[in-house]
Amino acid sequence: MTDDSGVLSIDFIVGFTIFLIAFIWVVSLIPGLLINLQGFTIDYDAVAYRTGVILVEDPGWPQAPVSPWESKIDNDSVVRFGLAISSDTPNILSQEKVNRFFCTTATTAFPLPFIYRVDYKEKAIFGDYPYRFNISLRDVERNANQSIGDVLPEGYGYIRRLVKIKGGSNATIDGYNFKNTDNNVTSHTFSILINTPNLYTNMTDLFYQIDPARDQIMINITNLSKMNNNITLTGITVVGNSPASSLQYTLTGNTLSLDNQIKDNTNPLDKFPQHVNDTISIKFLPSYFRGDVYNGVLDEQYYQPIYINLSFKLGSNSTFLNNSWSYPFDYNYDPANVTQPQLRDAVVEVAVW
């Protein structure tokens, strides 16, 4: 052929086809490369970090003093989880908030436990993506682990935060040291003063503050049998801003234990009067002071001192635990009276995938 212009040769078709196949193959690689660069792990790490900050540095919402999220009976009214004791104390966690956050076991009493994943996603993880996650807290000192969520997969976004948990305070009162001198009576009263305004002003550092509205308080009275062998505890009244009321122990989560036996106010046999051999232990949850004793008080500056009065009736006249003619036992910052709140090391880990 002499004039071959405009004619495709077989060589050209073969070469162009090879080029085209290679070109299409390389182009098809590009989306894969971009997916790797975008990487979901980046997103997961960021979500884990955000969740870690919310849990460790924020007290949640609603927050104290009125009705913090950890005391809400209605789980739907909890807007946001947060374990810090206040927004001014990042990394210092409240034991009460930790207990409530990690409690998933069903109980007959309110408040009901939160439900994984729905509640935790709405109130701690946030976002529209259906994340799976695991949030754990390791109490280093007690060597105890608590966790919420699924079993960890191979790859996940992760953050670890070091924290301290604020423990409650407690007082052990040797009853024999507080007996009166009058041995001609059978009725005795012992008063304990929790002077909340003084507790707030004498220790402004929230880390170590004894705060009946935020932390658990425990009072143990021992050695009663040394003074009399027929003791009846006729009642316990607690006075704060609200009028004096009888202690409703187990109904509000508090515990009254006599000689190591826990009393349940819902049981008619466990109501006052109660026989006591040697010891009385009373555990007050912060929700009790906040909800009952300081009921309706919207500002902490209006909190009044709390008086806890224990009334006893003896089988025979004798000296006994009685400070009605002197001063009430002061639950204060004196280490001789009260074991002060302590901070324990813990680790919060958040994994998201």
Partner 1 sequence: MVSGDGGQLYTIEGFAAALIMIITAYLVVNATSVYTAGDTHINDMQLEALGTDALKMMDTPVSSDVPSPLAEIITYTPVGNMNATFKTMFMNYTNVSGAGPIHDIQFNATYICRKDPENSITIYPLASSRNLTGGEHTVRATKWVIVDKAVCEDSEKPRAVLVEVLLWRD
Under the criterion CB under 8 A, does residue 144 sit at the interface with partner 1?
no
Q: Which of 117, 172, 333, 337 binds partner 1 (CB under 8 A)?
A: 333
Under the criterion CB under 8 A, does residue 49 sit at the interface with partner 1?
yes
Q: Which is nearer to partner 1, 134 or 322 (CB)?
A: 134
Under the criterion CB under 8 A, does residue 200 sit at the interface with partner 1?
no
Cα-based angle 77, 247, 261 (whole degrees, multiple of 5)? 105
Q: Which amino acid is at 153?
A: P
Q: Which of 67, 86, 104, 136 binds partner 1 (CB under 8 A)?
A: 136
Q: Which of 205, 243, 298, 325 binds partner 1 (CB under 8 A)?
A: 205
Under the criterion CB under 8 A, does residue 140 sit at the interface with partner 1?
yes
Under the criterion CB under 8 A, does residue 129 sit at the interface with partner 1?
no
Under the criterion CB under 8 A, does residue 146 sit at the interface with partner 1?
no
Q: Which of 18, 35, 118, 251 binds partner 1 (CB under 8 A)?
A: 18
Q: Which residues are CB-contacts of 206 (< 8 A; sequence separation ≥ 6)?
A: 85, 86, 88, 89, 92
CB 141 within 8 A of CB 333: no
Q: Which is nearer to partner 1, 68 or 341 (CB)?
A: 341
Token pair 């109660």 in the structure block, residue: 274
Binding mask 151-190 for partner 1 (x = CB under 8 A): -x-----xxxxxxx--------------------------
Under the criterion CB under 8 A, does residue 197 sit at the interface with partner 1?
no
Q: Which is nearer to partner 1, 73 or 140 (CB)?
A: 140
- What does R_g of the chain's alpha carbons equal in angstroms? 31
Which span sits near partner 1 by CB under 8 A: 215-223, 248-256, 262-270, 332-340? 332-340
Under the criterion CB under 8 A, does residue 86 sit at the interface with partner 1?
no
β-pairing, 133-139 vs 144-149, is antiparallel
Under the criterion CB under 8 A, does residue 147 sit at the interface with partner 1?
yes
Token pair 């970090």 in the structure block, residue: 49
Q: Which is nearer to partner 1, 143 or 267 (CB)?
A: 143
Cα separation of 111 and 140, whole Å? 28
Binding mask 274-313 for partner 1 (x = CB under 8 A): ----------------------------------------
Q: Which residues bind partner 1 (CB under 8 A)?
A: 1-5, 9, 11-12, 14-19, 21-23, 25-26, 29, 33, 36-37, 39, 42, 45-46, 49, 52, 90-92, 134, 136, 138, 140, 145, 147, 152, 158-164, 203, 205, 207-208, 333, 335, 340-345, 347, 349, 351
